[in-house]
Amino acid sequence: MGKVVVFGNQKGGCGKTTLAITLACGLTEQGYKVLMVDADPQGSVMSWAIRVDENNQDPLPDTEKHDNVLIDQALKRARERYDVTIVDLGSNLGFGGDTIQKMLLKTLREADFVFIPVGPSPVDVDASEAFVDVLRDLWERRDEKIPAANFVINGVRKGTTLGKEIAEVLEDVYQLPVFDTKVDSREAYKSAFMTGTSVFKSKQNDVIENAMAFVNEAKEVMGL
């Protein structure tokens, strides 16, 4: 059976879509069969996918759009066909109407892992509380399998210690593990999104090394 990992946070602009695409492309490059599920009403993943050049022969993950309450059934089917299914949640999920709330809970109940992207600032740390509260409420009410949650610090400037400092605060405040790998803030991610490629096609080796370190740590967390 395949694994389901969800990228989510109430805070917009923390890099959910960027990290989801990076993980999906990195795993695909390594030979895993990967599906990306766009559960964001803004359709960010699909915006990336439609930019993919039809002549591109590079391995890329499959993509699907699911932003309704039947998403849990779609994820169950995906487990049968894919090694890893990666879900990109919208930043407003769980804080809108009943349909959005149901979709969020069904997605999280089907997940094996939840990765919570956080920018390197105290504002992002505080803004993560609402999403963590949703997870904690889910954990408290469930007797069956619950998803494991990890923070991923994204958008760190090279040569600074802020990422390490934010990691310590996150662990102290939320009592949840934080990825050792801090994902750098680089223009290569924006370029990859705009051109429908992956950051692993960058000509900057340090960008690729940092991105692959994130992918490999995610593999360890997921037991791949």
CA distance 13 to 11: 7
Say whether pLDDT at 76 is over 90. yes
pLDDT band at 64 (very low <50, low <70, confident <90, very high): very high
> Tokens 């923070």 sit at which residue?
151
Domain boundaries along the sequence of the chain:
3-222
The tens digit of pLDDT for each residue in 141-173 reads 765 567 889 999 998 887 778 888 999 999 999
> Tokens 């917009």 sit at which residue?
12
- pTM score: 0.92
Question: In the prediction, which pLDDT does 161 show?
Answer: 80
CATH code, residues 3-222? 3.40.50.300
Q: Within the chain, where are the H helices?
A: 16-29, 44-49, 71-81, 98-110, 122-127, 129-141, 162-174, 187-195, 205-222
